[in-house]
Structure 1
Amino acid sequence: MPFAAPFLPILRDPPLLLAAGLLVLFGAHVASLAPYVSALAVTVFGLGDGAYSVVLMVASVVAVASSIGFGIIADQRANRRGVALATAVFLTIGTGLVPLAPKTPVFVLAHALLLPLSGSFFGQLFALARLAASLHPDPTRRAVLSTLRAMFALPWVLVLPVWALVFRAGAPVMLVYPVCLVLAVTILLCVWFWWPRDGATRWPDPKSGLTFRQSLREIWAPAILIRVLALGTIHGAITLYLVLIGLVFEAVPGRGAADTALYAGLTAGLEVPFMLALPLILGRVPQVKLIFVGAAIYAVHLAGLPFLAGTALVWVLPVFAAIGGAVVLTQPMAYLQDLMGDRPGAGASLMALQKLVGDAICATVFAAGVAVSGYGLTAATGAALSVIGAGALLVLDRRRR
């Protein structure tokens, strides 16, 4: 498959093009905010490591509960545009409150409640993309979905180096909030004007016909949950990296926010070409085996970050982060969507459930690790758990076959 081939269906299909554009905007929002939230919580808003762990846990519960609820409702009523609008509104309000009232209670409200309520927007974007891509042949569909995930990573390449320059020039880190507010408003307007009207799409999107309880029972089936748990350990490693990156560089003399932006930007910049190259091997390597290899490579980057942060060797780690990240940021998501067949809302719910498991693992490992030893033990524990989870998934699928 030519390198540019996955882009052609996206450019020719308005809903896929909308999904790509929204993923770029949403990626820019997350890239501007996520690497700095933990450091801002501690250094600006006065939250300790333990208090911030509680915020992370509450945010995870809110995010997964709302995502499962929104996903089930979207499948039941086939009203995906309404759900996307609601989550975009939460994103806008949650982002705007912090710069308007920069107080600790407002920060906690935004990051523990409002922004987590917008978390299902990512899943709704991929539900839209999956439905639109269903009109294409299966190999094209897989390549398109992998390419769209790369669109979410692309802003990290462009945005974070700019933030590095801005912070080196002396700008306050709180500047990320008004910039993210502009992005959130743009996302809301794009959804309002261009998201396909429910019931008027080119692809079939029937109502699920399941009650809320039946939908929950389907999601909570043991065979599904054990796989979500295994994949959650991988998501926990990714989340732990975002939590630790700012804190690790802030703790090293001579480093700070600019180095955080540079490291995250290098990682995302290298992730994009690896993600775009994934369609060349999809179908040739079993998906679960690919996930295991990706998790092992990503673990090298996570475990090594606290120990190498003060040395020049730290700049080698983004290579491991990008190669592993290209796999663990795309294939678990595709795996979960395939588990739920033709119910993309339920697939989005599984993605949220995986995120809850990952965030819970991240919060637990972070709280225990910093209490016992520090960031080094925290990172090593998260890395080890992700490899164990990927190995468990490999064993489970071998037994199923």
Structure 2
Amino acid sequence: MKSLLTRQRRINPVYAAFMAVSFMVGVAGALQAPTLSLFLAREVDVRPFWIGLFYTVNAVAGIAVSLLLAKRSDNRGDRRMLILFCCAMALINAVLFAFNRDYLTLITVGVFLSALASVAMPQIFALAREYADSSAREVVMFSSIMRAQLSLAWVIGPPLSFALALHYGFTTMFLVAAGLFVICLLLIWLALPSVPRVEQSPEVVLTQISAWRDKDVRLLFLASMIMWSCNTMYIIDMPLYISSTLGLPDNLAGLLMGTAAGLEIPAMLLAGHYVKRVGKRRMMLIAVAAGVLFYLGLVLFQSRTMLMVIQIFNAIFIGIIAGIGMLYFQDLMPGRPGAATTLFTNSISTGVILAGIIQGGLAETFGHYAVYCVALALSVVSFWLSTRVRDV
């Protein structure tokens, strides 16, 4: 009886709600993202150029909207209400994609709704940080476990996305995503807390105003942007490289992605556990060094076995920077968890934009192998930039 009461005391319903919301929002996103290009090509019937334009416009709009909303979220209003609004926009967007096949509508109304929806996840993490700080909870481990929910969502989401889209149609797939957002809205409304704003001292306010002027914030943004550019170049190019250049089975691409996503979860949790001992800066350097080894492996090795083995380095690379990288931004920008988290996610979005341009140009001009040589060089640059960011 005593152990049961102790266990009940340990289970925090708010903590569980944060886990559930981050997982379900992650699954809803992982349902829609992997098949988007297929949807535009087959259902909307547009050429590859217009598909690429859609991704670019979507990423740019996401950056602009998230920066505007992040600034507001840190200064006024209830962050939980903003999350509810963004999830409602995600729900409307999923319904729009389920029933609309007009490209102009999707690239205007759809992209705008998608940009608003994209703010939900960084705001969920920002609210989680405020809750952890206000309740004296362990911030790093809390955030790492939440980030692991996203990795788990991306293990489950893509296969489910293709299964629903190919067997039941895109309308069904988008409606399932809409249903998940309905559940998320209920969970957020009923279970997530409204954390009161803490009045900042004049010193912290001055830090807030000049955060982007801080060279450490700028260096970390550039390093993170390059890391995510390398990762996205790999994700875009790898299926083509495996089939057209290496002559390996097409399904190996899915196996490599699934293996890396699965290994990311223990990498995140271990990073969260040891970060206090090791420090965020050193942990980030370990992650980027693993990224350098991964891209070096892609340049040196071409066999199925070795491509599987080096996924360990890929998992360490992405698993650590996805969790610790966000916390590093938050610690460099005290008092602005929303803006810091959004700056981190915008480094990802900017990396995606650059990756599409670099990968397309390199693959068409020099071949797929050149993509990994450039990714290796960029990862070394990212490591050098990371060494110049101060410890916190």
Of 316, 323, 326, which aligns to 1:323? 316
Q: 1:233–1:385: 8 Å Cα contact kept in structure 2?
A: yes
Q: CA deviation at 1:388?
A: 1.2
Distance 2:369 2:212 in 1: 35
Distance 2:48 2:10 in 1: 45
Of 192, 206, 210, which aligns to 1:218? 210
Q: Which moved more, 1:9-18 or 1:28-37?
A: 9-18
Cα 1:46–1:161 change in 2 (3 A) is: closer
1:285 equivalent in structure 2:
278
Of 311, 335, 342, which aligns to 2:328? 335
Distance 1:9 1:237 in 2: 44
Q: Over residues 23-46 of structure 1, what are the superposed CA-to-partner deviations in whole Å (9 max), with x where a residue is unaligned?
A: 111221233233333454456645
Distance 1:245 1:29 in 2: 24
Q: 2:31–2:160: 8 Å Cα contact kept in structure 1?
A: no
Q: 1:38–1:246: 8 Å Cα contact kept in structure 2?
A: no
Q: Which has the larger radius of gyration?
A: 2
2:266 equivalent in structure 1:
273
Q: CA deviation at 1:134?
A: 0.8
Distance 2:107 2:258 in 1: 27
Q: Over residues 247-293 of structure 1, what are the superposed CA-to-partner deviations in whole Å (9 max), with x where a residue is unaligned?
A: 5567687855x655443322211111221222332123242232233
1:124 equivalent in structure 2:
123
2:33 equivalent in structure 1:
34
Distance 2:239 2:103 in 1: 19
Q: Which moved more, 1:291-300 or 1:144-153?
A: 291-300
Q: CA deviation at 1:241?
A: 3.9
State the aligned residue count. 381
Q: 1:234–1:387: 8 Å Cα contact kept in structure 2?
A: no
Q: Over residues 204-239 of structure 1, what are the superposed CA-to-partner deviations in whole Å (9 max), with x where a residue is unaligned?
A: 4236699xx999853431522232122211122333
Distance 2:208 2:42 in 1: 40
1:89 equivalent in structure 2:
88
2:22 equivalent in structure 1:
23
1:232 equivalent in structure 2:
225
1:3 equivalent in structure 2:
none
Q: SS at 2:59's partner residue?
A: helix
Q: SS at 1:28's partner residue?
A: helix
1:61 equivalent in structure 2:
60
Stretches of structure 1 that go unaligned for 5 or more consecutive residues are: 1-7
Q: Which moved more, 1:323-332 or 1:296-305?
A: 296-305
Q: Is 1:346 aligned to 2:339, yes or no?
A: yes
2:381 equivalent in structure 1:
388
Q: SS at 1:196's partner residue?
A: coil
Q: SS at 2:198's partner residue?
A: coil
Distance 2:255 2:323 in 1: 23
Cα 1:88–1:306 change in 2 (3 A) is: farther
Q: Which moved more, 1:58-67 or 1:363-372?
A: 363-372
1:5 equivalent in structure 2:
none
Of 150, 153, 164, which aligns to 1:152? 150
5 Å-filtered alignment, 1:1-12, equals 12=11
Q: Is 1:184 aligned to 2:177, yes or no?
A: no
1:72 equivalent in structure 2:
71
Cα 1:389–1:172 change in 2 (3 A) is: farther
Distance 1:173 1:244 in 2: 26
Q: 1:39–1:247: 8 Å Cα contact kept in structure 2?
A: no
Distance 1:279 1:70 in 2: 28
Stretches of structure 2 that go unaligned for 5 or more consecutive residues are: 1-6
Q: Which moved more, 1:361-370 or 1:311-320?
A: 311-320
1:114 equivalent in structure 2:
113
Q: Is 1:171 aligned to 2:164, yes or no?
A: no
Q: CA deviation at 1:10?
A: 11
Cα 1:299–1:116 change in 2 (3 A) is: farther
Q: TM-score, normalised by structure 1?
A: 0.80
Which amino acid letter does the alignment assign opposite residue 143 of structure 1?
A: M
Q: Over residues 38-72 of structure 1, what are the superposed CA-to-partner deviations in whole Å (9 max), with x where a residue is unaligned?
A: 45445664555544443333222211221121111
Q: CA deviation at 1:109?
A: 4.1
Q: SS at 1:329's partner residue?
A: helix
Of 118, 140, 143, which aligns to 2:141? 143
Q: 2:28–2:157: 8 Å Cα contact kept in structure 1?
A: no
Q: 1:92–1:185: 8 Å Cα contact kept in structure 2?
A: yes
Which amino acid letter does the alignment assign opposite residue 177 of structure 2?
A: C
Which amino acid letter does the alignment assign opposite residue 267 of structure 2?
A: F
Q: Over residues 331-365 of structure 1, what are the superposed CA-to-partner deviations in whole Å (9 max), with x where a residue is unaligned?
A: 11110011111222222232243234323322332
Q: 1:365–1:381: 8 Å Cα contact kept in structure 2?
A: no
